Amino acid sequence: MKFIKNNSRIQEKDDAELISSYKSSGGLDVLGQLYNKYMHLVFGVCINYLKNEEQSKDAVMQIFEELIVKLKVHEVQNFKSWLHVLTRNHCLMAIRKQSKNETVSLEETFVENTNFVHLDMDDTKEHKLSVMEKCMENLPQEQRITVDLFYLQEKCYKEVADMTGYDMLKVKSYIQNGKRNLKICIEKNSGE
């Protein structure tokens, strides 16, 4: 694979043109050309989350299949960032699904001391995600929207301000207060 350092504005313009072409034609070759530029990054994110090469290769193909539908209905300004979020969410959902269906052999869980309590780490992750989702829902609307855009969708302050119509100082305040309120809520509900 050959990497060429590109001007990010040129890259975004090229991506926007390919997205536009795909939306109008529906041609998978155009989508494939766009996706191929970032496939190595998608694979890297998948490996980071899934910790399994075969699962990651499968995920790369599944994400392409998701793109066929999602790219037609979403307005994407920065494809690379949007694809990163899509990939991360796909991996998190795969981990959640796997943790619900996972079986463990007795040999893997054998412990010499029978008084030892084994915590299921996947259940812990699932619980933390569940707590975080509930806490996000309880945030005031302005905080919930800005926190979601800034942290989960990885938008910058200016993008959040442009997308919401909120003043820049308000955006920073909502994000800071939302982050603090989210942390307090998560800490309060994590012990349940």
The pLDDT of residue 11 is: 64
Low-confidence ranges of the chain (pLDDT < 70): 1-13, 101-126, 191-192
The pLDDT of residue 32 is: 92
What domains are there in the chain, each with its CATH number?
8-102 (1.10.1740.10), 121-192 (1.10.10.10)
The pLDDT of residue 136 is: 84
The pLDDT of residue 90 is: 92
Task: For residue 140, give the DSSP letter.
Answer: -
60-100 pLDDT, tens digit each:
999 999 999 988 888 888 899 899 999 999 998 888 887 77
pTM over 0.75: no
155 class by beta-carbon count within 10 Å (0-12 exposed, 13-18 middle, 19+ buried): buried
Write out the DSSP string of 123-186: HHHHHHHHHHHHHHHHS-HHHHHHHIIIIIS---HHHHHHHH---HHHHHHHHHHHHHHHHHHH
